[in-house]
Amino acid sequence: MKRIPSLARFGTFAGVLFLALLSLVFLVTWSIWFIIPLALFGVLSLMGIYDVFQEKHSILRNYPVMGHMRFFFEGIRPEIRQYLIESDQDEEPFSRDDRSLVYQRAKGQEDARPFGTRMRVYDAGYSWVTHSVQPVHITDSDFRVRIGNDACKQPYDASIYNISAMSFGSLSANAISALNKGAKMGGFAHDTGEGGVSRYHRDGGGDLIYEVGSGYFGCRTEDGQFDPQKFQDQASSNQIKMIELKLSQGAKPGHGGMLPASKISAEIAEARDIPMGQDCVSPAAHSAFNTPIEMMEFLGQLRELSGGKPVGFKLCIGHQREFMCMVKAMLETGVVPDFIVVDGTEGGTGAAPLEFANHIGMPMIEGLTFVHNTLRGAGIRDQVKLGAAGKVVSAFDIARCLALGADWCNSARGFMFAVGCIQAQACHTNHCPVGVATQDPTRQRALDVGHKSQRVARFHRNTLKALAEMTGAAGLDNPSEFLPRHLMLRQGDNSMVQGDEVYGYLPEGYLLDDKAPDFRGNKTRWDRAQASSFAPFD
């Protein structure tokens, strides 16, 4: 009797066996239509028999047939959470409020909110922009920033909001086409990602930022080294406006990648300039340079080969001293990049090891503040424009970045939402339900390039209109005038601070002044940094 409750877990299996036998009896003695339930319960019975004897899953051995329900609900858990359980403010990783805002602006729908804010304005972490009693009406929201210092022969007037790096291969052909055509309509830039310049980037006609990663895709030799001639041929295109050397990306800094041969199509091979039938490896580090000085010399070479176009690099801050090594190399070689893009650990990717996504890399706000103040301390901030990337989807996100030192912002997932991404988080499976992050031709067919490109342009335009309204409310004429003091941050339930108390600008040239105080240990790091090596100088 004691074993009866224990054996009850086989009740479902026993039930389908009984119903299969009963269907067989009725099939023989009563009606041919019982072949339908016989087929159904027969399949379930065979499944149960397999479950009992298989060795991989303990749940299925103990709960044959019924145990499959656990795996079914686990498979649809993200959808259940997103549509039924998740609140509007839960960030998984983007909240429903953020996604809805992008969808509404991309569709040109009303994005106003009735009945007041739903945010907990008295909780720690809440932040806001201070407004003026004399607001300004701004009519032109096409905000631009000129990128290119004195060494640049072809400066670029970029929008202050652009499409961040996403490679063809990670995104579908239709998604790339829609993004680039939208960028063309809206007059903003589209970063190619490290996967190279594909035919879909070119066909759209939009301005491109050519990202050169450690795999040197599109400008590589057969053994994966940098090829100057191929780069020159690539960079000479009028469509390419800037060159971006990728050191690291926020979601997986310090981590390389490998695209299996099975996933390499003829179009991906064409864009990356790689052979078919071989795994495509993206090393964690560059082979073209090993020291900060060599890195600056390589940037100088890219500038020369591109005909004097703006050249810079993108990174997520790790060892702060290593970035100071780069800045010292700028001073020593005289090669100062035209721009630097600061990515944050909150940035997105098609796939990354969980530890890298969660626990490696500096968040964008702290990284941006550090880079901005380091360049100020070295006296070269006026020569380098700063871009910021990492969950920037609203006008407030842009305003906050500009206040903390950025000159412009990039967004990847924001523009993915604009082309129809629903945050299914299936980017790495090739089963994207809306055709954005897949190479399956039947799935990406669902993404209509003409319609989605208009949504991309509309999202950009409406976001900058909202930024203009926010800027005017602060009493400013241009978003570039935002400063840390225009931000307020709540540190606790009963305390708030002004932005410059937490993220203030440090004095120009303080790192070069022996008499200047050591702000936040930066001078100590500066003394340990050397232009000749990324290793610490003791």
Report which of 511, 489, 492 is spatially closest to residue 502, judged by C-alpha positions: 489
- At 229, list the tokens: 């001639």
pLDDT given for residue 56 in this prediction: 84
pLDDT given for residue 350 in this prediction: 67
Q: pTM of this prediction? A: 0.88
- What's the chain's average pLDDT? 90
pLDDT given for residue 510 in this prediction: 95
Mean pLDDT of 388-393: 94
Asked if the model's pLDDT at residue 262 lies above 80, the reply is: no
pLDDT tens across 145-177, in order?
A: 999 999 999 999 999 999 999 999 889 999 999
Q: Evaluate whether 248 touches 180 at the Cβ level (below 8 Å).
A: no
Report which of 291, 379, 388, 287 is spatially closest to residue 336, judged by C-alpha positions: 379
Asked if the model's pLDDT at residue 126 lies above 70, the reply is: yes
Mean pLDDT of 444-457: 94
Question: How many angstroms separate the most distant Cα atoms in the chain?
Answer: 102
Instruction: Say how many Å lie between the first and final Cα of the chain, rounded.
Output: 76
pLDDT given for residue 4 in this prediction: 54
- At 137, list the tokens: 């009406």
Domains and CATH numbers, the chain: 8-82 (no CATH), 144-528 (3.20.20.70)
Please give the residue that has the higher pLDDT: either 245 or 75. 245
Instruction: For residues 193 and 418, give the distance between their C-alpha atoms in angstroms, rounded to a whole number.
Output: 18
Q: Evaluate whether 464 touches 456 at the Cβ level (below 8 Å).
A: no
Non-local (6+) Cβ contacts of 92 within 8 A are: 81, 82, 86, 423
Q: pLDDT over 70 for what percent of the chain? A: 95
pLDDT given for residue 530 in this prediction: 95
Asked if the model's pLDDT at residue 11 lies above 80, the reply is: yes
pLDDT given for residue 124 in this prediction: 85
Q: pLDDT over 90 for what percent of the chain? A: 60
pLDDT given for residue 484 in this prediction: 96
Q: How confident is the model at residue 493 (pLDDT cuts 50, 70, 90)?
A: low
pLDDT tens across 230-251, in order?
A: 999 999 999 999 999 999 987 7
pLDDT given for residue 277 in this prediction: 82
Instruction: For residues 406 and 400, give the distance between their C-alpha atoms in angstroms, rounded to a whole number.
Output: 9
- At 279, list the tokens: 């795994």
pLDDT given for residue 382 in this prediction: 97
Non-local (6+) Cβ contacts of 120 within 8 A are: 126
Region label for 54, one of left (φ > 0), alpha (ψ between -120 and 50) or beta (otherwise): beta
Please give the residue that has the higher pLDDT: either 407 or 76. 407
pLDDT given for residue 440 in this prediction: 87
pLDDT given for residue 399 in this prediction: 97
Asked if the model's pLDDT at residue 84 lies above 80, the reply is: no
Mean pLDDT of 58-83: 79
Mean pLDDT of 405-419: 95
Please give the residue that has the higher pLDDT: either 220 or 492. 220
pLDDT tens across 287-329, in order?
A: 999 999 999 999 999 999 999 999 999 999 999 999 999 999 9
